[in-house]
């Protein structure tokens, strides 16, 4: 038993010294991004790369012009001058695109209950909840540098 523990400790120490871990082959084969130049582009200028990704993949009310404000490290702020509605990006745009009947998530209860919730179902319930909050005096959320609309 003592030699097994010693061997395990040595293996853990070796792993702690490793700086890079190659992903398993099946992970690489199933990856959505296979063009490794994307990794090189992101590595050259991470902030600019993320700014491009957000503009390509999200719907903004006001697109950000700067990805990262690191002027007050370690209190970094991302996309500070942009305005976005997270709920819209998660739900509305999928329903608007005709995907309201697609399953947003599969719910499984502890007692074996199962329910598939579509984007349209979830959007309807979010709107009901938002109206209940509004009826109880809860207003728009804002935080430093960004706001939800």
Per-residue pLDDT tens digits for 84-140: 999 999 999 999 999 999 999 999 999 999 999 999 999 999 999 999 999 999 988
Query: What does the block give as tokens for 105?
Result: 């998530």
Task: Give residue 126's pLDDT.
Answer: 96
Task: Give residue 2's pLDDT.
Answer: 59
E strand residue ranges, 4-110? 60-62, 68-69, 77-78, 83-84, 103-108
DSSP symbol at 143: E
Confidence of residue 149 (pLDDT cuts 50, 70, 90): very low
**Tens digits of per-residue pLDDT, 22-69?**
889 999 889 887 888 888 899 999 999 999 999 989 999 999 999 999
Cis peptide before 56 (omega within 30 of 0): no
Is a pLDDT exceeding 80 seen at residue 143? no
Query: What does the block give as tokens for 128?
Result: 């009901």
Task: Give residue 147's pLDDT.
Answer: 45
Candidate ranges 1-15, 72-86, 134-148; pick with highest mean pLDDT: 72-86
Residue 118, helix vs strand vs coil:
strand
Is a pLDDT exceeding 70 seen at residue 1? no
């Amino acid at each position: 038993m003592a030699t097994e523990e010693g061997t395990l400790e040595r293996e853990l120490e070796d792993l702690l010294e490793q700086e890079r871990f190659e992903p398993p082959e099946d992970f690489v084969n199933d990856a959505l991004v296979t063009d490794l130049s994307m990794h090189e582009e992101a590595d050259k200028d991470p902030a600019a790369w993320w700014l491009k990704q957000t503009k390509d993949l999200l719907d903004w009310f006001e697109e950000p012009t700067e990805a990262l404000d690191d002027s007050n490290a370690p209190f970094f702020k991302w996309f500070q001058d942009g305005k976005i509605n997270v709920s819209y990006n998660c739900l509305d745009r999928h329903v608007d695109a005709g995907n309201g009947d697609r399953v947003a998530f599969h719910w499984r209860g502890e007692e074996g209950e199962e329910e598939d919730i579509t984007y349209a179902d979830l959007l309807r319930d979010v709107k009901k909840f938002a109206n209940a909050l509004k009826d109880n005096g809860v207003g728009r959320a804002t935080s430093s540098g960004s706001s939800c609309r």
